[in-house]
Amino acid sequence: MQSHTSKYLFGKCFLLLLSLSVSVLVTAQTPSIHFTLSFPQAAEHFVGVEMKYDPKGKKAVEFELPNWTTGYYQLMYFSKDLKDFKVRNAKGDTLVWKQQTPNRWAINSDGQPFTVSYRIFGNRRFVASNYVDEEFAYLSPAGIFLYPVGGLAYSSVIRIQPHTNWNRIATGLDLVKGESYTYRSPDFDILYDSPFLLGSKLEDLPSFTVNNKPHYFVAYKPGEFDRTTFMNDLQKIVSTASGIIGDIPYEHYSFLAIGPGGGGIEHLNSTSISFSGQGLSTNRAARNRMYHFLAHEYFHHYNVKRIRPIELGPFDYNKGSRTNSLWVSEGLNVYYENLILKRAGLKTDEEALATVQQQVASYEAKPGRLFQTLAASSYETWSDGPFGRTGDEVNKTISYYDKGPVVGVMLDFRIRYTTGNKRSLDDVMRKLYYEYYKKKGRGFTEAELKKEIETVCGEKMDDFFDYIYTLKPLDYNRYFAYAGLLVDQTPKMIPAYAGVFVTDRRDTVVVNAADWQSPAWNAGLRRQAKVLSVNNQPVKTAADYTKAVAGMKTGDEMRMQVITGNETVMLTFKLTEKEERSYALTIDTSANATAVKVRNGWLTGQTEK
């Protein structure tokens, strides 16, 4: 299997080949399918698609468009954006076809070659979607290319006819030798894993190498920041992350930055990211957030693309591929963000510990921890969303992004302590990589994951896995003591508590959160309610709300006039005290020698020889 990132200046190109686990000669066989992409209606957000297919005598042929793209565990229903479906034979005659489902088309071909043409609408600038305008395009292949039912293993050739003045194309596919703007994919899994970034406003940041493997950063209008410092830091992130596993399974890697926004999606030799350089050179907090994000997306080429639950491949492009183990693929990836930045010298000890504290506090603030297990949050993400259901009256769900990194640090501390800091979670990740990806060529089962963790730790881990499969409260005192850390769980009383959070929305003030079982909640206040007044004072902005509640004390009565649905109601409740815990981490000066070794080893990324 190969993939490639290319950059074009009209009349000039260069080719970088990626050999992952199987070497494929790109000129070895005639592909089954030829696609052509064109952009005559870029201003209207359309990409034109033409597909030439030879059914080899088969008269009835069916094609589907995926309903989701790997890396984003939500059904996207891409077919809703497919327009003007047409089929013609080699003579130009229209063939009979039928749309059997929203994303499946049946064609009567008489066994002869035919051409399918259609347009895809793309106006959402998001890493899992398609976006096209006259300056640039970002294409998520699962939402572009039809595949023959039963033919995911078929190869394909993709020819691009760039829009006027577009002079760069970046993708994870191989160029076809001797042809311009023409790429080959060995199968549809690789094609769907290889997004395209193309246009006239793309910038190439200074490249770097790690272990003689080149790394590129191609960005759409990245903004003002120190490019050299940024890429030097990114090199540290890549070097540190790849050093954890000890193998770089690609020949080159590209970061595809599609502009400001939110989200990133991992690929075998690239990542698609929302990116803005604003604040990177002047704001340490903004820099840390971006570096966490980049470390997360980069480490994913190991953790989930190669170290993966067995359910995540082969993929079900119609219904999605459910697994109980996204707490590993996503949650532990959040945990590793922090480790990578600390080991790369981009965070201090204090910052690394503060991140862990924030993750614990964030998880403990979620009422869903009382209702949903970590495994269930993984399995139900297709319906709940990656951050849990946030619109429910009672938020009875959690996110593996919240609990995953917390159980990750607990697991790492336990492995290190039990083995005298001779082993760590890194050893588990390496075992999953070399044993299951490299040797067996597949993902791991839940039972195999547990077995490998127990093997590294040297003891049964049933009690730990209760944190994955049950609602058992996390024992912070026990697990953080393994690293000589104290967790402040002393309750502190916060006065004048209402449990209301508001935001400005157009010309109204809207409740964007009401804490579960808070005074406001118990009085009937819910998200999306429109606030008209507080304590008889009109509220037209969020600042008005803040002014209206200023000076209120515990025991005071608060009156909120709100619109819920089509009904205007007056809610009355008394302010109370709220019990909060900081979960602040401090060094235990009385910790034993093993715990001190664990803490120092965790902060430095070292284990005992």
CATH of the domain at 428: 1.10.390.10
pLDDT > 70: percent of the chain:
93
In a shared domain, residues 134 and 173 = yes
Max intra-chain CA distance, the chain: 85
Q: How far apart are CA 585 and CA 486, in angstroms?
A: 6
Q: How far apart are CA 374 and CA 394, in angstroms?
A: 18
Domain that holds residue 262: 204-299
Q: How far apart are CA 101 and CA 390, in angstroms?
A: 31
Q: How far apart are CA 90 and CA 96, in angstroms?
A: 14
Q: How far apart are CA 352 and CA 589, in angstroms?
A: 19
Query: For residue 388, what are its two tokens?
Result: 């849990």
pLDDT tens figures, 149-174: 999 999 999 999 999 999 899 998 88
pLDDT value, residue 394: 58
The answer as to whether 437 is a domain residue is yes
In a shared domain, residues 337 and 485 = yes
DSSP sequence for 1-22: -EE---EEETTEEE---EESSS
Radius of gyration of the chain (CA): 27
Local structure of 548: helix, strand or coil: helix
Least confident range of 14-18, 28-32, 120-124, 499-503: 14-18
Q: How far apart are CA 391 and CA 389, in angstroms?
A: 6
pLDDT tens figures, 229-252: 999 999 999 999 999 999 999 988
> Do residues 215 and 238 lie in contact, with contact meaning Cβ atoms separated by under 8 Å?
yes
Query: For residue 573, what are its two tokens?
Result: 């409740």
In a shared domain, residues 209 and 189 = no
> Do residues 325 and 449 lie in contact, with contact meaning Cβ atoms separated by under 8 Å?
yes
Q: Average pLDDT of 450-456?
A: 99
pLDDT value, residue 391: 58
Local structure of 209: helix, strand or coil: strand
pLDDT value, residue 411: 99
Q: Average pLDDT of 401-419?
A: 99
Q: Considering only CA atoms, which of 227, 245, 162 is closest in space to residue 199?
A: 162
Query: For residue 336, what are its two tokens?
Result: 């590793």
Handedness of CA 167, 171, 176, 178 (dihedral sign): positive
The answer as to whether 312 is a domain residue is no
Q: Average pLDDT of 557-562?
A: 98
In a shared domain, residues 485 and 559 = no
In a shared domain, residues 263 and 336 = no
pLDDT beyond 80 at 21: no
Q: Average pLDDT of 80-84?
A: 98
Q: How far apart are CA 179 and CA 201, in angstroms?
A: 24
Q: Out of 200, 219, 251, pick the residue that ends a domain.
A: 200
Local structure of 69: helix, strand or coil: strand
Compare 28 and 287 and report the one with higher pLDDT. Answer: 287
Output the domain CATH number for residue 552.
Answer: 2.30.42.10
> Do residues 561 and 569 lie in contact, with contact meaning Cβ atoms separated by under 8 Å?
yes
Q: What is the mean pLDDT of the chain?
A: 92
pLDDT beyond 50 at 53: yes
In a shared domain, residues 92 and 109 = yes
Cα distances (Å, whole numbers) of residue 128 to 61, 82, 103, 195: 28, 16, 17, 9
Q: Average pLDDT of 511-540?
A: 94
In a shared domain, residues 451 and 514 = no
Q: How far apart are CA 464 and CA 292, in angstroms?
A: 27
Q: How far apart are CA 238 and CA 209, in angstroms?
A: 9
pLDDT beyond 70 at 318: yes
Q: Out of 200, 217, 236, pick the residue that ends a domain.
A: 200
Q: How confident is residue 6, by pLDDT bands cut at 50, 70 and 90? A: very low
The answer as to whether 307 is a domain residue is no
Domain count, the chain: 4
Q: How far apart are CA 287 and CA 341, in angstroms?
A: 11
pLDDT value, residue 14: 30
pLDDT tens figures, 259-277: 998 899 999 999 999 999 9
Output the domain CATH number for residue 40.
Answer: 2.60.40.3650
pLDDT value, residue 13: 34
Q: How far apart are CA 107 and CA 87, in angstroms?
A: 8
Residue 335 CB partners (closer than 8 Å, separation 6+) = 404, 405, 408, 409, 412, 425
In a shared domain, residues 332 and 457 = yes
DSSP sequence for 459-486: S--HHHHHHHHS-PPP-HHHHHHTTTEE
The answer as to whether 304 is a domain residue is no
Q: How far apart are CA 240 and CA 242, in angstroms?
A: 6
Query: For residue 377, what are its two tokens?
Result: 């949050």
pLDDT tens figures, 562-584: 999 889 999 999 999 999 999 99
Q: Out of 246, 264, 299, pick the residue that ends a domain.
A: 299
The answer as to whether 81 is a domain residue is yes
* pTM for this predicted structure: 0.90
Q: How far apart are CA 497 and CA 228, in angstroms?
A: 48
> Do residues 256 and 170 lie in contact, with contact meaning Cβ atoms separated by under 8 Å?
yes
pLDDT tens figures, 192-217: 999 999 999 899 999 999 999 999 99
222: preceding bond cis by omega (within 30 degrees):
no
The answer as to whether 315 is a domain residue is no
Query: For residue 401, what are its two tokens?
Result: 């992004």
Least confident range of 59-73, 162-176, 554-568: 162-176
In a shared domain, residues 163 and 38 = yes
The answer as to whether 99 is a domain residue is yes
Q: How far apart are CA 298 and CA 264, in angstroms?
A: 10
Q: Considering only CA atoms, which of 3, 439, 39 is closest in space to residue 184?
A: 3
Can you name the residues that pair with 563 across neighbouring β-strands? 530, 568
pLDDT value, residue 301: 98
The answer as to whether 318 is a domain residue is no
In a shared domain, residues 513 and 458 = no
pLDDT value, residue 110: 87
Q: How far apart are CA 63 and CA 318, in angstroms?
A: 12
* Burial state string for 206-223 with b = 16 or more CB within 10 A and e = fewer than 16: eebebeebebbbbbbbbe
- Beta-strand relationship, 33-38 and 156-161: parallel
Residue 20 CB partners (closer than 8 Å, separation 6+) = 1, 2, 3, 249, 250, 268, 269
527 burial (CB, 10 Å; 0-12 / 13-18 / 19+) is middle
Q: Considering only CA atoms, which of 473, 542, 534, 471 is closest in space to residue 503?
A: 542
In a shared domain, residues 458 and 557 = no
In a shared domain, residues 399 and 502 = no
pLDDT beyond 60 at 498: yes
Q: Considering only CA atoms, which of 488, 452, 485 is closest in space to residue 603?
A: 485
